[in-house]
Homo-oligomer: A and B are copies of this chain.
């Protein structure tokens, strides 16, 4: 590593902390990862985690996104309300004095008043994707699968509205704690796309206005009847719950099938969503992984932190 680095970006969630070191062109020159999410910090808490994960890197302006800005985080950073321009989010960066030479700027989450909704971390992925211009046209529908899946509408670099599905969290709760997980094997690597997954997606689609949640118990009954092997319960459930997102999204009238979806996140999970999307009549979606690293750079750039950094690299500007 040389002195040509300009920014440290932290993707700081509930379970994981990822650090990116950028050069002056925004290229990533080093990355690190620790399981130091805000719920499982090392001794010394946030400052110690930040020192340790950046140790040996030159001191740089540092920007962080995710649950680090939540009530359980380092500092609670107020939400910014949608609809909102990307530039407004960039202006909302919140400086935390770390009592070291290294100040840290935390990205605000987004809030929707009605229907009530919040996000923290996904806004940075969205900004990364919009900066990459991977979506066609001025409107884009973004899907961010995960513990709490987000469906987001954007328009000309504004985030206009979003919705949250607790798909990932409910899926793992059901397998771990409910009757549906009783007597089924530990999670296995299944070849994918899997016909059992598609049976679940199809079941959600057919459930129509009743919705796939009313079909949950039938998963158990199908297993008892021998219609569904116990090895297949997890895949079926995955298809049922992901299919339910598409059923609701389509029936809401917001996400019409003639606007291309962009699916953002872990590659294998995005692949599941893309498969379900096509089953529901959406054109083949684009997929973006690692959007957070682009978003952190873009936010630093739009907020003016990079320009200032090149003049006063470690002087705690904007304090």
Query: Once the chains bind, are A169 and B178 in contact (CB under 8 Å)?
Result: yes
Number of contact residues on A: which range applies? 35 or more
**Residue contact B244 to A213, C-beta cutoff 8 Å:** yes
Q: Does A164 contact B (CB under 8 A)?
A: yes
Q: Chain B residues near A217: list those with CB within 8 A.
A: 117, 148, 164-166
Given known contacts A210-B251, A211-B211, A251-B210, A218 and B116 CB-to-CB distance under 8 angstroms: yes
| Interface SS majority for chain A | helix
A 203-223 contacts with B by CB, 8 A: 208-211, 213-218, 220-222
On chain B, the residues within 8 Å of A177 by CB distance are 173, 176-177
Q: How many copies does the complex hold?
A: 2
Q: Which residues of B contact A176 (CB under 8 A)?
A: 177
Taking the complex as formed, is A248 at the interface, i.e. its CB lies under 8 A from any CB of chain B? yes
- Within the assembled complex, what's the spacing in Å between the Cα atoms of A65 and B251? 42
User: Residue-by-residue, is A109-120 near B (CB-CB < 8 Å gives 1, otherwise 0)?
Assistant: 001110111100
Asked if B221 and A117 make an inter-chain contact with CB atoms under 8 angstroms apart, the answer reads yes
Give every chain B residue within 8 A of A170 (Cβ-Cβ).
178, 216
Contact with B along A29-59 (1 / 0, CB 8 A): 0000000000000000000000000000000
Q: Which residues of B contact A221 (CB under 8 A)?
A: 111-112, 116-118, 164
Chain B residues near A216 (CB-CB < 8 A): 166, 170
18 A-B contact pairs sorted by A residue (CB < 8 Å): A112-B221, A113-B225, A115-B218, A116-B222, A117-B218, A118-B221, A163-B214, A164-B218, A169-B179, A173-B173, A176-B177, A177-B177, A209-B211, A209-B251, A210-B211, A210-B248, A211-B213, A214-B248
